[in-house]
Amino acid sequence: MVIDLQKGFLCPLTKELPKKVKNFLLRNKGKFDLVLFTQYLNRPKSQFVKFLNWRGFMDEKENGLFEEIKLFVNKNNLFKKYTYGSFVDDKVLNVLKKNGIKEVWLMGIATENCILTFARDAFDRGFKVVVLKDYCASIDSKELHNTALEIIKNNIGEVK
């Protein structure tokens, strides 16, 4: 799972991540049964607007995928989401089950939000979870990234 590698998350902590993920995917082409991508989109009546007064990610400038990963993405492996979680509807779950996936490897942005949420949700649905620590990042701090990895390691799955 490549989670939310999007232009609006570009910052000093994430600037190397799109290239690293691209190179990982190229090096490991054919080694995974399935490679899926998520894309976060905000909406005017979302809980982010309603409760946090945050209006980001409502246009392509922010919610667009990084160019580095676009060559891997198509309409069948991209899942749009409107909150932190990817299991809010059954689309991702159904694709994972249909393809017999038992273990999910996670990479992307942001470790303490969408990566951690996906990890918990996948664990709750019976998947083994592996988070690739060098292919994830926080947009806020290295400490949040490390704390999320510690939570995952202690409570959810494996951190490689």
Two structure tokens written together for 74: 């198509």
- Domain of 37: which CATH number? 3.40.50.850
Record the pTM. 0.96
Q: For position 52, what pLDDT does the model report? A: 97
User: Which residue shows structure tokens 């019976």?
Assistant: 126
Residue pLDDT, tens place only, 60-101: 999 999 999 999 999 999 999 999 999 999 999 999 999 999
User: Which residue shows structure tokens 């996906």?
Assistant: 118
Distance (Å) of CA 32 to CA 67, 101, 145: 22, 10, 25
pLDDT-derived band at 36, boundaries 50, 70, 90: very high
Bridge partners (DSSP) listed for residue 100:
none
Domain that holds residue 142: 2-159
3: Cα separation from own chain's centroid: 2
Cα separation, 109 vs 114, whole angstroms? 7
Q: What angle do CA 49, 63, 106 make, to 5 degrees?
A: 100
Number of domains the chain is built from: 1
